[in-house]
Structure 1
Amino acid sequence: MLSLALATSLFLGPVWSHLSVRATPSFEDVCHQIQGAISNASAVYWLGSTLYNKGVEHYMTSSEQDSACVVEPGTAEDVGAVLKIVGSNRTPFAVKGGGHTGNPGYSSTEGIQIAMFRFSEVTYDESAQTATIGTGLIWDNVYEALAPHNVNVVGGRVTGVGVGGFTLGGGYSWLTNQYGLTVDTLTSFELVKTDGTIVTVTDSSDADLFWALKGGLNNYGIVTRFTLKTFPQGQVWGGLITYTASHLEDVAAAVAKFSANVTDPKAAIITASNFLLTQPGVSQLLFYDGPTPPDGIFNDFLDIPHFTEDVDTRDFISLVQASPANLTAGQRSVGIFATVPVPTLSANVINAMFNETVFWGHKLQLDSGTFISYDIEHFLPSILTHNTSPSAWPPTRDTAYIPQFIYYAWLFEFEDEKFYDAIRQSSAQIANVAKQEGQKGVDDAPPYPNYAIFDTPVELIYGDSLPRMRSIKATVDPDNVMGLAGGIKI
């Protein structure tokens, strides 16, 4: 027996030694490798610490996971060091900015959670009329920093939305009717490639990569800073009005009239048809980029008897923070987003969204549904004409599809599939209404990446852009390191 054991050990010893060298390190081992490689400008946090919790927390509980550790890089060089380590070890990772995604696993992981909070720069260049903005910020921070300069950027419309994912996905803003999507106002990116190199990407330095990053999400590396065009910003008019169930038809009619008749690019609305606490109702956001709107634009909304009203001349940041975006955040709900892009926000589509609110609100409250919301959004058909430089998304600028938004929240994860199926059915119903009235291109319309549910085909989102995007990725990230991260993968 002794001889056999000795012989076996002699035979297997080199094999086990060889295997141990090639064994995949644990996530915790990779965390320690990162901790030893980064500078004092960065930090690693472990389960149990407050900053770990901050790093993994998301807007919805279903979008977060307990990672092996949280890495907060403080320099682009340290981002590069992290990318090289996770890439060489083939370790799953995630990149989180504001954490406002609706999809599970898009900016969370059981591997290495990269939290971008330390990239919090807002630098205004008056001579260039641009602002350089860190990707760890939320738009509230950006607006507050730019307010003393009386300028603004094309950013998020509601409080709490992160800069990074929002911008890389396209970006619809209160200012979009005037200036286009957020990607249309980008002048440069600071990008950390997966080999650790740091590059400033502009249209003149690398036109292909610049194009791909505009709407290409996290497929090409980690963006640490954006430089955006700025625009003059004074006081605005608007805010939030809420209506009870008895006035749904009146609000629907007001939205339809606004959509059909208002062409002033300074005017915008978001009509959130909600089902909350067993009742339907409406949260109506009004916006005008000026201290006083022209007479009559918003009268139909103001004349409807309301439950609450907070509409006035105010600072831009006050308008953004008047929104009910974080209405369910305190509940720590499970949730999901979906979208229906339509060419025209018609009365039939508007009424369908109100009807879907009531139908699915009543039905899903019998399960654990806590919040059923349909955001009716209106943009002018000219929004895609403000940019002379194309972008990966949207893949076509022939038609400005309007991204109608759906959001469901519920309590228990075991009911996930029930709510996913419901939101898919509801999306299909709204799309069918648009098709039945003769709207063209609904089936092929590219969904807004930041609203799209997780199983949306990437071919539908990016359309004709996809072959070029994949070719650029093969050059920039040949080992597909960014494929180890969550999100829409090309």
Structure 2
Amino acid sequence: MYIWTLVGGLSAVGGIGLSYASAIEPDNFNVTSALENLGVDVSKIPALQSFSGLQSRSNRNGCAAACESLSFLFSTKVSAQNSTGYNNFTGSFWSVQQEEVQPHCVFRPTVNTEVSTAVLLSRYTDCEFAARSGGHAAFTGASSAPGGISIWFKDMNEVALNDDKSVASIQPGNNWLSVYSALEPYGLAVIGGRAASIGVGGFMLGGGISYHSNLYGWACDNVQSFEVVTASGVIVTASEFSHSDLYWALRGGGNNFGLVTRYNLYTIPCPEMRGGARTFLQTEFTDVVNAFINVANNASADGHAQQYVAFLQTGGTNLALAELTYTKNVTNPEIFKQYRSIPAVADTTTAKTLVQYVEYLEADNPFGLREVYWPITVHLNEDFANWIVEVFYSMIPQVANVTGSQPVVIYQAITEPMLKKMSNFGGNALGFDASTGPIHLMHLSCWWTNESDDAIVYSFVNSFWDKVITQAKSLGLDNDYIYMNYASMFQDPIASYGDSNKALLKSIASKYDPKAIYQTLQPGYFKLDGAPVTGSF
């Protein structure tokens, strides 16, 4: 990872980075010609000799040819199965479900045109592909392609500042620790993730809740522009003023429109912060919920405050952990005084830099376990929030015999300041109405050890949310929105944005990707037509 000050703009950082043809794929588009524009002569690649013309291709043979072609062109950047590079890739995922995926090969590009080549070779051979930034999803195939090409952005890890340091240009191989570490010497940050190992890519495209979101909005609302590899291999810059429809779609629309090879993000000042977790016993839960509700409702009074509350059981004891973050080093800000008045059994609050904060929270996201995240949203209501906590603890015995299980319900708020800032720069694709806030965002996360218990865990989470949603509807508190960055493989975030936004997203995808390459040859993660997994578990 590198950082340097870039004089005169961001358009050419780290590769070509400029449009070299129309962003709209013509009806007579020819993959061979597109590869030739990148300096790739298909006739000189041995593995493609049997793939000339329009003959039928099996996926297995196609992926062998695609991987051999990438190896022919970029020998040191392709890892075959059972190699050290391949094992480093599969062994470094957060969840075991992702780790278990076996792609045909792993490709580590270093410049954007190499990403274009990989997409075009995928089209030429009908080989499925996936792209990985941080690899922090909790289900199979989200950022690794079973039997296909897994594009690992690890070596595209530059961080650059423009001449007045107002924009940081960040490649998708970064995680938030590397981004914040690069910007901290300048006293700067960007609106990004709250744990060290979370990757830039998926976080940005799904929305992105930050410590600074009450001040500035979500991450997707603080993007100056995206550098995007389209399905035709053309590289475009999408901003409020250029390809503005694509810019809008990428702000919450996920991986459905192209592979983003650079995120140009507005910078913010980042002084030392203060925060940590206060831990409470069950006797204090109603007071904790009351404090959560009050801080959420008063977010407009002090945007420096950010909070979430986790409810869990450990060693047979029910606990609530309130993570209270203040973006300045203020010992006891007024907005958190109610929390501070509740007796706590532990408190990790200290002054922290942003780098120290994301490293500290990394312990809450252990690697090497089976994982599920599963969110819903409802309208904020204190009585209902207390009721949900009671239901959660009443249902924990359903997974008591699941080896290594640790279910947690986490409360967050989508506050009025966040909702108002979603109209920045032409708005995002998430479908929120700023007048309906604040919204109660909650998700149930769980880790466990054995694949044989998958169905038990998924059934537990599903039955819990069924009960909660049924009650929410009966009280008129239900809300459709599903936060993509926490969504389970059984959920459809795009549909939750509303019919009109979904239709517009599909129209934009069709405009830039008329052959639906990013829907069919990149089938992982959340597509425009439904959940990754449908049916029963």
TM-score range, shorter chain: 0.7 to 0.9
Alpha carbons 2:375, 2:443 under 8 Å: kept: yes
Q: CA deviation at 1:144?
A: 1.1
Q: CA deviation at 1:165?
A: 0.1
Answering whether residue 455 of structure 2 is matched by residue 417 of structure 1, we say yes
Instruction: Mark the CA change 1:449 to 1:325 in structure 2 (over 3 Å): closer, same or farther.
Output: farther
Alpha carbons 1:215, 1:391 under 8 Å: kept: no
Answering whether residue 311 of structure 2 is matched by residue 258 of structure 1, we say no
Q: Which letter maps to 2:235?
A: I
Q: What RMSD over aligned residues (CA atoms) do the two structures have, in Å?
A: 2.6
In structure 1, C-alpha distance between the alignment counterparts of 2:156 and 2:418, rounded to whole Å = 30
Q: CA deviation at 1:340?
A: 1.2
Note the 1:44-193 alignment, pairs <5 A: 44-56=78-90, 57-64=92-99, 65-110=101-146, 111-127=148-164, 129-193=166-230
Instruction: Mark the CA change 1:52 to 1:280 in structure 2 (over 3 Å): closer, same or farther.
Output: farther
SS of the residue 1:28 aligns to: helix
Matched positions, count? 467
Alpha carbons 1:189, 1:226 under 8 Å: kept: yes
Q: Which letter maps to 1:362?
A: P
In structure 2, C-alpha distance between the alignment counterparts of 1:50 and 1:140, rounded to whole Å = 25
SS of the residue 1:36 aligns to: helix
Corresponding residue of 1:242: 279
2:372 to 327, 336, 339: 336
SS of the residue 1:297 aligns to: helix
Q: Which letter maps to 1:37?
A: L
The farther-off stretch of 456-465 and 283-292 is 456-465
SS of the residue 1:100 aligns to: coil
Q: C-alpha offsets along residues 346-396 of structure 1, whole Å, 9 cap, x if unaligned?
A: 222432342244233332122335110111112422312223334453123
SS of the residue 1:283 aligns to: strand
User: Please, which runs of 5 or more residues in structure 1 have no aligned partner?
Assistant: 1-15
Q: CA deviation at 1:195?
A: 1.7
Corresponding residue of 1:12: none
Instruction: Mark the CA change 1:97 to 1:336 in structure 2 (over 3 Å): closer, same or farther.
Output: same
Q: Which letter maps to 2:183?
A: L
Q: CA deviation at 1:235?
A: 1.1
Q: Which letter maps to 1:319?
A: Y
The farther-off stretch of 225-234 and 368-377 is 368-377
In structure 2, C-alpha distance between the alignment counterparts of 1:17 and 1:153, rounded to whole Å = 45
Alpha carbons 2:374, 2:445 under 8 Å: kept: yes
1:299 to 337, 344, 349: 337
Instruction: Mark the CA change 1:305 to 1:294 in structure 2 (over 3 Å): closer, same or farther.
Output: closer
Q: C-alpha offsets along residues 330-351 of structure 1, whole Å, 9 cap, x if unaligned?
A: xx2212111111232x222432
SS of the residue 1:372 aligns to: strand
Corresponding residue of 2:10: none
1:381 to 416, 424, 432: 416
Alpha carbons 1:449, 1:461 under 8 Å: kept: no
In structure 2, C-alpha distance between the alignment counterparts of 1:151 and 1:108, rounded to whole Å = 33
In structure 2, C-alpha distance between the alignment counterparts of 1:55 and 1:349, rounded to whole Å = 43
Q: CA deviation at 1:33?
A: 1.3
Instruction: Mark the CA change 1:279 to 1:294 in structure 2 (over 3 Å): closer, same or farther.
Output: closer
Q: Which letter maps to 1:447?
A: I
Q: CA deviation at 1:288?
A: 0.8
Q: CA deviation at 1:301?
A: 3.0
Q: CA deviation at 1:309?
A: 2.3
Q: CA deviation at 1:418?
A: 2.4
In structure 1, C-alpha distance between the alignment counterparts of 2:292 and 2:507, rounded to whole Å = 43
In structure 2, C-alpha distance between the alignment counterparts of 1:260 and 1:147, rounded to whole Å = 31
User: Please, which runs of 5 or more residues in structure 2 have no aligned partner?
Assistant: 1-49, 529-537
SS of the residue 2:405 aligns to: strand
Q: C-alpha offsets along residues 277-328 of structure 1, whole Å, 9 cap, x if unaligned?
A: 5443233211111110554432333344444322122212222222255444
Alpha carbons 2:63, 2:125 under 8 Å: kept: no
1:408 to 435, 438, 446: 446
Answering whether residue 298 of structure 2 is matched by residue 286 of structure 1, we say no
